[in-house]
Structure 1
Amino acid sequence: MAPEPERRPSLVSLLTPPFRLTVSRWKVAAFLQRRRVERGLSVDGAAAAAGCSPARIRRLENPEGRLPSTDEAVRLLQAYEVRGEALFAEARDLVARAGEPGWWHRYGDVAAEWVRLLLDLETHAFAVRTYEPLGVPGLFQTEEYARMVMCSGLPHADLEEVAARVALRSERQQLVTSGALEVWALIDESVLRREVGSNAVMAGQVRHLIRLAGLPNVLLQVVPFTAGSSGARLNHPVTLLRFPKDGLPDIVYLEHHTGAHYLDGEKETEVYRGALDLLCVEALSREETLAKLERAASLYA
């Protein structure tokens, strides 16, 4: 019987201060541990096969430990008798990416730590499910809409800071437009009626939603005013991030006015997954949503 992976602390507890771990470092450690377990080796057995100490194996599988070099990772895979150039290429890529800063580091002056964590997670996720009761999701906002939202939330911020925040949000959206991220978004109907900026801003935003809804990696549903009869309606934004099979659990992101909470406990994420499932049932279909968006666009024309 293959050995069980050693238990680790909560991913969220490691990614948030004071550890400041990155998702990439976690993935390297999880990758090496998974390869060992698949080979059926204990830590001691892996150490014997690789010609190193058990403590060394534990350090390399510890996301808080030192990042292994590419050569170290490859030697371990060889010791585990891993076959397939694709796996070796994956190991090299994981180690290389773990040693590089994320693209969002260019916006360090305007992106709070809890925002940078979200960007890190989104970059590694394969799918996101999100519900927004108050505004258009950040991944779907036009530059004009985003600017108006930020100016209202930061009335005393200078124009350069607002411009940098808008640029960050626009670059973040490339995950969606490139097809790298699957997004299932639920937007409350009130969002379409809540004017942000001006009629022109809203008309452009609604037309942008219509364009995004046509992408193969996007499912957009409007949650009508009549939803909630089954208790499904949530009264705050919720985002569920899902990851490939690389050791990362589902993570729920709950944003509030001054920060955010990240949840990765199985019971916690299951509660929010269930709530989103209920909302999806009560939301309009893709075709009904497009018709609703077209009607909303005509109101702002």
Structure 2
Amino acid sequence: MAVAEPSPSLFARPLGAVEHNPTALKVILGGKLRELRVAAGLDPSHVDSKLGFSRSKTSRIELGRHGCKPSDAAALLGLYGVDDDVQVTEFMRLLEQSRRPDWWRSYSDVLSDFFAPLVALEGAASTIRTYEPFYVPGLLQTPAYTRAVVQSGPGHLLAHEVHRRVELRQERQRQLDNGDGPRLWALIDESVLMRIVGGERVMRAQLEHLVAMMQRPRVTLQIAPLDVTASVGVGTGLTYLRFAPGDLKDAVYIEHLTDSTFTQKPRIVEQYRDMLDRLGACALTPRHSLETIRERLARL
């Protein structure tokens, strides 16, 4: 008697660490529903009408901006012809995962709306690439350095607000400790090493921390000399999130003075990826960057 072939997964690859990130799962599941709808030859408005949804509900679900109820997901899968028990069970299991609270929600009191998209998705990335022109990247900061940066910002923050922001940054850093967590490739403007943040003692401890982090196999750090950053012209801090090939598009987060841009539009993402590639090619190698940091330490 022939053994039945296992049902193919609805997803391009095992989701791995992404399953622990509810925000990423919402985006992936929404994108999968959109893919199924397009394959079924249906327009979002037609789906809304057929299933009795409110106007634009299908589009909102596909964008992953809010959770999808199990009953709505079951109706959508049925309409799109997904009736394989294994595939439906897989989708509903991931949907249940996506409805869990994100860890960072508990920091909503100190987390700016414009910063939330980066914090929400960075833990699901396979690689985080970042360039910082003014400060050590947040994922590499010591608590004392973070405190000094936060206190130097605009507005007057209460002591508990400063503490909460330092705590949030430490929680973000813990994602790098996970075995399947993201790799970090950081490019730092040379001027960052010269800028004394929090006093010499804090700065010394921060540079020593960078030296220690550079020993990690999943962390790459390069110093970009002043003439390099002047010629490449990045001009602002940015973070590029690269996700494993599959169901989540790469993203870029670009910092501005009082807000930011977070986008997954391929054309824009590609432009900034190219900029980081050019900057990395011109920056000091990791070995020479380590020597530069140690030389700066010796002068403090």
- The interval holding the TM-score normalised by the smaller chain is 0.7 to 0.9
After TM superposition, the structure 1 = structure 2 runs for residues 87-102 of structure 1, keeping only pairs within 5 Å, are 91-102=91-102
Residues of 2 paired with 1:218 and 1:209: CA distance? 10
1:42 aligns with 2:18: no
> After the TM superposition, which residues 161-240 of structure 1 pair with which residues of structure 2 at under 5 Å, given as runs?
161-179=161-179, 180-228=181-229, 231-240=231-240
Task: Say if 1:206 and 1:28 are closer, same or farther in 2 by CA, change over 3 A.
Answer: same
Equivalent position amino acid for 1:241 in 2: L
Tell me, in whole angstroms, the C-alpha distance in 1 between the residues paired with 2:71 and 2:51.
19
CA distance in 2, matches of 1:94, 1:266: 26
Measure the CA separation in 1 of the matches of 2:216 and 2:90.
Answer: 28
1:96 positional shift: 2.3
Deviations 1:99-131 (A, max 9, x none): 122111111111111122221121322221111
Give 1:69's aligned residue.
70
User: Do 1:186 and 1:220's aligned partners in 2 also have CA atoms closer than 8 Å?
Assistant: yes
Gaps (5+ residues) in structure 2?
A: 1-21, 43-48
Unaligned runs of 5+ in 1: 1-20, 45-52
- Structure 1 residue 282 displacement after superposition: 0.7
Q: For residues 30 and 114 of structure 1, what CA distance do their matches in structure 2 show? A: 22
Q: 8 Å contact 1:59–1:65 — kept in the other structure?
A: no
Cα displacement (A) at 1:68: 4.2
Question: What is the aligned-residue identity percentage?
Answer: 33
- 2:262 corresponds in structure 1 to 262
2:129 corresponding residue in structure 1: 129
Shift of residue 254 of structure 1?
1.1
- Provide the residue aligned with 1:116 in structure 2: 116
Map of 1:49 onto structure 2: none
2:225, 2:187 → 1: CA distance?
A: 10
Indicate if the aligned counterparts of 2:144 and 2:202 stay in contact, CA closer than 8 A.
yes
CA contact (8 A) 1:31 1:246 kept: no
Q: Decide whether the 8 Å contact of 2:23 with 2:102 is kept in 1.
A: no
Stretches of 4+ aligned residues off by more than 6 angstroms? none
CA shift digits 1:123-151 (9 cap, x unpaired): 32222111111111111111000000111
For residue 101 of structure 1, what is the amino acid of its counterpart?
Answer: P
Distance in 1, matches of 2:50 and 2:123, equals 33
How far is the alpha carbon of 1:246 from its aligned partner?
4.3
Residue aligning to 2:3: none
Q: Does 1:284 align with 2:281?
A: no
More displaced stretch, 239-248 vs 140-149: 239-248
8 Å CA contact retained: 1:139, 1:169: yes
How many pairs were matched up? 266
TM-score of the aligned structures, taking structure 1 as reference length: 0.76
User: Once the two structures are superposed, what CA deviation does each residue of 1:138-185 show, in whole Å capped at 9, x if it has no partner?
Assistant: 111110000001111156211111000100010011112325011111
CA contact (8 A) 1:254 1:262 kept: yes
Tell me, in whole angstroms, the C-alpha distance in 2 between the residues paired with 1:281 and 1:62: 38
Relative to structure 1, is the Cα distance of residues 65 and 136 closer, same or farther in structure 2, using a 3 angstrom cutoff?
closer
CA distance, structure 1, for counterparts of residue 108 and residue 170 of structure 2: 16
> Which whole-Å CA distance do the structure 2 matches of 1:198 and 1:177 have between them?
28
